Structure 1
Amino acid sequence: MVRPIAIFFALLLIAAPIARAQTQPVPPAEVEKTLNAAKAYLYKKLGKDHNWEQADAPKHGNDNRTEAGQWGGQTAIAIYALLAAGESHRDPRLAPAIEWLKKADIRGTYAVAFRLLAYTKMPRNEEFRRLASADLKQIMARIKETGNSKGMFDYADGPGNGYSHSRSQYGVLAAWAATEMGLEVPTGFWQNMQQAWVRNQDPSGGWSYKHPKEDKLPVTPGMTAAGLATLYLSYDFTAPPPACNGNPTSPPIDKGLAWLAKNIDLYATTKNYDRDFPMPTLYAVERVGLASGLRYLGNTDWFHKGARFLQEVQRPDGSFPSDYGGITAQTAFGVLFLARGRAPIVMQKLEYDLTVGGKATVGPWHQRPRDAHFVTRFVARETERELSWQIAKLSAPAADLQESQILYIAGSKALTFTPEEEAKLKTFVHSGGMILFNADCNDGAFTQSVTRLATKLFDAEFRELPQDSAIYTRQMYSPKDWRPMPRVLGLSNGVRELCILVPNDFARSWALNARAGERAAHFQLVANLFLYANDKSRARVKGESYLLTRDPKVKPSQKINLARLQYAGNFDPEPGALPRLATHLYNTRGMDATISTIKLGENKLGADTHVAFLTGTARVTLTPQERDDLKKFVSGGGTVVIDAAGGRDAFAAAMLNEIKEILPDDAGKMNTLPPEHKVFTLAKLPEVDYRDAVRATGQSTKVSRLRGLDLNGKTRVFFSGEDLTHGLLGSPTDGIIGYDPAYALPLVANIVEHAVAK
Structure 2
Amino acid sequence: MRPFAPVSLVITLLLGLGLHAQVSAQQPLTDDRVTAALTRGVDALLKSRTPAGTWEHEYADPASQHHGGETSLALYALLHVGENLPDKRLKPGAEELQRAIAFVRELKPKSVYAASLQANALALLPRKPENTKPLEQTRRALAGAMLPDNGFGYDIAPNVRFANSDNSNSQYAALGLWAAYDAGIGSPVQMWKTIEDYWRKMAQPDGGWYYRGDRVQTNLAMTAAGVQCILIATEHTDRALRLEMRNDKQLIDGMRYLGEKWAPEKLDLYGLYGVERVGLLSGAKFFGRRNWYVEGAEHLLTMQLPEGHWRTKIWDVTQPHVSTSFALLFLARGRNPVLFNKLQYDGPWHARTRDLAGLAEWMSNQYERPFNWQTVSSDVHPDEWLDAPALLITGSQDPKFTPQQQAALRSYVNAGGLVFSVQIGGSKGKAFGDAIRSYATAITGNKAEFRKLGADAPVLSSYGKIKNLPANIEGLSNGVRELWIHTDEDLSAAWQTNNTATPAFDIAANIYFYACGREELRTKLASTAVPNAPGKAARTISLARIKWGGETANWDAEPGAFGRLGRLLENKSRSNLVTETVSLAALDVKTNRLAWLNGVGKMELGAEEEKRLKAFFDGGGLMIADAVGGDREFATSFEALIEKLYPKGSKAKFELLDQAHSAFSGTFEDGEPLTSVKYRALTRQTIGDVTTPKCWGLTVNNRLVLVWSPHDLSSGLAGARAWGISGYTIESADVLSRNMMLYCHALAVTRGR
Q: Would the TM-score normalized by the shorter structure come out above 0.5?
A: yes
For 1:463, which of 451, 470, 475 is the aligned residue?
451
Contact 1:85 1:336 in 2 (8 A): no
Q: Does 1:290 align with 2:280?
A: yes
Q: Does 1:661 align with 2:644?
A: yes
**Aligned equivalents of 1:115, 1:175: Cα separation in 2:** 11
Amino acid paired to 1:268: E
The alpha carbon displacement at 1:12 in A equals: 5.3
The alpha carbon displacement at 1:72 in A equals: 4.2
For 2:680, which of 691, 708, 723 is the aligned residue?
691
Q: Which residue of 1 aligns with 2:587?
A: 604
**Aligned equivalents of 2:100, 2:107: Cα separation in 1:** 13
The alpha carbon displacement at 1:670 in A equals: 2.4
- Measured at CA, do residues 557 and 25 of structure 1 come closer, stay the same or move farther in structure 2, by a change above 3 Å? closer
Q: Which residue of 2 aligns with 1:274?
A: none
Contact 1:81 1:332 in 2 (8 A): no
- Measured at CA, do residues 129 and 567 of structure 1 come closer, stay the same or move farther in structure 2, by a change above 3 Å? farther
- Measured at CA, do residues 132 and 697 of structure 1 come closer, stay the same or move farther in structure 2, by a change above 3 Å? farther
Contact 1:562 1:611 in 2 (8 A): yes
> What secondary structure sits across from 1:606 in the alignment?
coil
Between 535-544 and 624-633, report the one with greater CA deviation.
535-544
Between 682-691 and 530-539, report the one with greater CA deviation.
530-539
Q: Which residue of 2 aligns with 1:360?
A: none
Q: Which residue of 2 aligns with 1:170?
A: 172
For 1:451, which of 426, 432, 437 is the aligned residue?
437
**Aligned equivalents of 1:393, 1:56: Cα separation in 2:** 46
Q: Which residue of 1 aligns with 2:246?
A: 248
The alpha carbon displacement at 1:335 in A equals: 0.8
The alpha carbon displacement at 1:289 in A equals: 0.8
1:225-263 residue CA offsets vs partner (Å, 9 max, x unmatched): 11110100001111142221x210111112222333333
Contact 2:259 2:287 in 1 (8 A): yes
Q: Does 1:231 align with 2:220?
A: no
Between 725-734 and 97-106, report the one with greater CA deviation.
97-106
Amino acid paired to 1:255: D
Q: Does 1:182 align with 2:198?
A: no
**Aligned equivalents of 2:735, 2:324: Cα separation in 1:** 40
Q: Which residue of 2 aligns with 1:50?
A: 53
The alpha carbon displacement at 1:21 in A equals: 4.7
Gap regions ≥5 residues in structure 2: 1-5
1:360-379 residue CA offsets vs partner (Å, 9 max, x unmatched): xxx11121122222222222
**Aligned equivalents of 1:658, 1:488: Cα separation in 2:** 39
1:48-90 residue CA offsets vs partner (Å, 9 max, x unmatched): 43322238975246x3x346xx464344434344335434415
The alpha carbon displacement at 1:506 in A equals: 0.9
Amino acid paired to 1:615: N
- Measured at CA, do residues 314 and 151 of structure 1 come closer, stay the same or move farther in structure 2, by a change above 3 Å? same
Contact 1:139 1:174 in 2 (8 A): yes
The alpha carbon displacement at 1:417 in A equals: 1.6
1:135-171 residue CA offsets vs partner (Å, 9 max, x unmatched): 3233233233x2x2x2535432222144322112122
Q: Does 1:652 align with 2:635?
A: yes
**Aligned equivalents of 1:96, 1:524: Cα separation in 2:** 36
> What secondary structure sits across from 2:198 in the alignment?
helix
The alpha carbon displacement at 1:666 in A equals: 6.2
Q: Which residue of 1 aligns with 2:619?
A: 636
Q: Which residue of 2 aligns with 1:623?
A: 606
For 2:711, which of 715, 722, 736 is the aligned residue?
722
1:304-363 residue CA offsets vs partner (Å, 9 max, x unmatched): 33223323332232222231244212211111111112333222221112xxxxxxxxx1
Contact 2:105 2:131 in 1 (8 A): no
* Paired residues for 1:101-180 under 5 Å: 101=103, 103-107=105-109, 108-124=111-127, 128-144=131-147, 146=148, 148=149, 150-152=150-152, 154-160=154-160, 161-180=163-182
Q: Which residue of 1 aligns with 2:696?
A: 707
**TM-align CA RMSD:** 2.8
- Measured at CA, do residues 76 and 50 of structure 1 come closer, stay the same or move farther in structure 2, by a change above 3 Å? same
> What secondary structure sits across from 2:615 in the alignment?
helix
**Aligned equivalents of 2:8, 2:734: Cα separation in 1:** 45
1:662-703 residue CA offsets vs partner (Å, 9 max, x unmatched): 221369942221122121224312521111222233523312
- Measured at CA, do residues 164 and 424 of structure 1 come closer, stay the same or move farther in structure 2, by a change above 3 Å? same
Contact 1:206 1:220 in 2 (8 A): yes
Amino acid paired to 1:502: T
Contact 2:599 2:627 in 1 (8 A): yes
Amino acid paired to 1:455: T
Contact 1:77 1:329 in 2 (8 A): no
Contact 2:208 2:218 in 1 (8 A): yes
Q: Which residue of 2 aligns with 1:472?
A: 460
Q: Does 1:199 align with 2:197?
A: no
Q: Which residue of 2 aligns with 1:331?
A: 324
**Aligned equivalents of 1:753, 1:260: Cα separation in 2:** 48
**Aligned equivalents of 1:10, 1:390: Cα separation in 2:** 13
Amino acid paired to 1:471: V
- Measured at CA, do residues 314 and 66 of structure 1 come closer, stay the same or move farther in structure 2, by a change above 3 Å? farther
Amino acid paired to 1:233: I
- TM-score computed with the length of structure 1 as normaliser: 0.88
**Aligned equivalents of 2:215, 2:132: Cα separation in 1:** 41
Q: Which residue of 2 aligns with 1:395?
A: 379
Q: Which residue of 1 aligns with 2:3?
A: none
> What secondary structure sits across from 2:686 in the alignment?
coil
Q: Which residue of 2 aligns with 1:8?
A: 10
Between 404-413 and 30-39, report the one with greater CA deviation.
30-39
- Measured at CA, do residues 474 and 407 of structure 1 come closer, stay the same or move farther in structure 2, by a change above 3 Å? closer
Q: Does 1:310 align with 2:300?
A: yes
Contact 1:410 1:437 in 2 (8 A): yes
The alpha carbon displacement at 1:453 in A equals: 1.2
- Measured at CA, do residues 592 and 222 of structure 1 come closer, stay the same or move farther in structure 2, by a change above 3 Å? closer
- TM-score computed with the length of structure 2 as normaliser: 0.89
- Measured at CA, do residues 733 and 239 of structure 1 come closer, stay the same or move farther in structure 2, by a change above 3 Å? same
Q: Does 1:567 align with 2:549?
A: yes
Q: Which residue of 1 aligns with 2:363?
A: 379
1:73-115 residue CA offsets vs partner (Å, 9 max, x unmatched): 3444343443354344157354424642453324243233223
- Measured at CA, do residues 647 and 153 of structure 1 come closer, stay the same or move farther in structure 2, by a change above 3 Å? farther
For 1:352, which of 330, 345, 353 is the aligned residue?
345
**Aligned equivalents of 2:233, 2:63: Cα separation in 1:** 30
Q: Which residue of 2 aligns with 1:89?
A: 91
The alpha carbon displacement at 1:468 in A equals: 3.6
Q: Which residue of 2 aligns with 1:268?
A: 265
- Measured at CA, do residues 690 and 101 of structure 1 come closer, stay the same or move farther in structure 2, by a change above 3 Å? farther
**Aligned equivalents of 1:77, 1:99: Cα separation in 2:** 10
**Aligned equivalents of 2:424, 2:324: Cα separation in 1:** 43
Q: Which residue of 2 aligns with 1:546?
A: 528
For 1:493, which of 472, 478, 503 is the aligned residue?
478
Between 171-180 and 300-309, report the one with greater CA deviation.
300-309
- Measured at CA, do residues 261 and 582 of structure 1 come closer, stay the same or move farther in structure 2, by a change above 3 Å? closer
> What secondary structure sits across from 1:304 in the alignment?
helix
Q: Which residue of 1 aligns with 2:495?
A: 510
Amino acid paired to 1:17: L
Contact 2:18 2:286 in 1 (8 A): no
> What secondary structure sits across from 1:696 in the alignment?
helix
The count of residues paired between Structure 1 and Structure 2 equals 720
The alpha carbon displacement at 1:605 in A equals: 4.2
**Aligned equivalents of 1:19, 1:746: Cα separation in 2:** 30
**Aligned equivalents of 2:405, 2:171: Cα separation in 1:** 41
> What secondary structure sits across from 2:708 in the alignment?
strand
Between 710-719 and 530-539, report the one with greater CA deviation.
530-539
- Measured at CA, do residues 299 and 581 of structure 1 come closer, stay the same or move farther in structure 2, by a change above 3 Å? closer
> What secondary structure sits across from 2:174 in the alignment?
helix
For 2:29, which of 27, 30, 35 is the aligned residue?
27
